[in-house]
Amino acid sequence: MLKKKGYVCTLLMAFLLFLAVDIAGWGGETEGGRVGVPILLYHRFGPVVTDSMTVETSVIASQLEYLRVQGYTVIPLRRLVASLAGKAPSPPDHSVVITVDDGHESVFTDLYPLVRRYHIPITLFIYPSAISNASYALTWKQLQEMKDSGLVDIQSHTYWHPNFKKEKKRLTAQEYEDFVHRQLLKSREVLQQKLGGTVDMLAWPYGIYDDELVNDARRVGYIAGFSMARHPVTRADSMMTLPRYLMINQVQGIAFEKLLAESSRFRKKRENQP
């Protein structure tokens, strides 16, 4: 009985300490065995906003500084995936993951200097057809330099970023099946051939996926897939459709802090579910 009372007192003290924090932290193992880690998704950067997916370089810099000052830990995406698969310990409290899709040149010119300054890991999801080809895209040399730093992991975003819904309507059933297979497999093959390492994680283009696509991705060797959904990763999420917060330039200052608080509230709600 004494042990039970002591345990209850300990939980009560922990809860009171939690209430004393203005914005609750997230990450780590929850009481229900669920991980609550937000994955942030960026696309491109620059001194000014040129489109809906551009985040000003000063904004991402301020966000990284905020995470540092507030005691958050930016962890590798692969570490989170390994934890979800039961192959690694749970991430530390106040963990966050940073990912960037597509392969825009500003990842090297604007983000990579910040990655080195803060010494944080990031994951790039690349569609190889654009690399060293499109005027807006990274080069293979730039990708290799970032990968060699040990801070940048490079994974697949299919071969040329198709809209699978449109392609399914346009192609016959067999053509579509072959098309999907090529998009998923060729991206892995090219990235591994050009850069080395293991490519076994996939970001779904436009966040589009269905059961058929998920099964195809598993068959060609992907162990995790990533979509776009406004909540942190928990153990209740499918490994092939893990959620990420889409980051746009308006998510700065108070809005960024609110995003973190929202993530925390979602985690606590999931913890209380049976």
Domain ranges of the chain: 2-271
User: What is the distance between the alpha carbons of residues 36 and 11, in angstroms, rounded to a whole number?
Assistant: 19
- What is the pLDDT averaged over residues 140-144? 98
What's the confidence (pLDDT) of residue 94?
A: 87
pLDDT level of residue 6 (50, 70, 90 thresholds) = very low
**Residue 7 reports pLDDT greater than 70:** no
Q: 2-271: CATH homologous superfamily? A: Glycoside hydrolase/deacetylase (3.20.20.370)
Structure-token pair, residue 103: 């392969």
Per-residue pLDDT reduced to its tens digit, 180-202: 999 999 999 999 999 999 999 99
DSSP secondary structure string for all residues of 209-256: --HHHHHHHHHTT--EEE---SS-B-TTS-TTSB--EEP-TT--THHH
What pLDDT does residue 265 have? 65
Tokens of 189: 């093959």
Q: Give me the half-sphere count of Cα atoms (radius 13 Å) on the Cβ side of residue 10.
A: 6
Residue 18 pLDDT > 60, yes or no? no
Lowest-confidence region among 110-114, 256-260, 268-272: 268-272
Read off the pLDDT of each residue in 73-91 and give the average, rounded to a whole number: 95
pLDDT at 95 over 70: yes
Digit-coded pLDDT (tens) for 19-52: 333 333 334 444 334 568 999 999 999 999 999 9
Tell me, rounded to whole angstroms, the distance of Cα 208 from its chain centroid. 16
**CA–CA separation, 140 and 50 (whole Å):** 25
Among candidate residues 46, 71, 79, the one with its CA nearest the CA of residue 61 = 46
- Is the pLDDT at 274 greater than 90? The verdict is no
Written as six digits, the tokens of 78 are: 């692969």
Mark out the alpha helices in 150-224 (DSSP H runs): 164-170, 173-195, 211-219
In this predicted structure, the answer to whether residue 260 has a pLDDT above a threshold of 90 is no
Q: What is the per-residue pLDDT for 267?
A: 60
**Confidence tier at 269 by pLDDT (50, 70, 90):** low
Percent of the chain at pLDDT > 90 equals: 77
Mean pLDDT of 164-168: 97
- Per-residue b or e along 16-43, where b marks 16 or more CB atoms closer than 10 Å to that residue's CB: eeeeeeeeebbbbbbeeebbbbbbbbbb
Instruction: Specify the pTM.
Output: 0.85
Q: What is the mean pLDDT of residues 75-88?
A: 96
List strand residue ranges (DSSP E) for 22-121, in order: 39-42, 44-46, 54-56, 73-74, 95-102
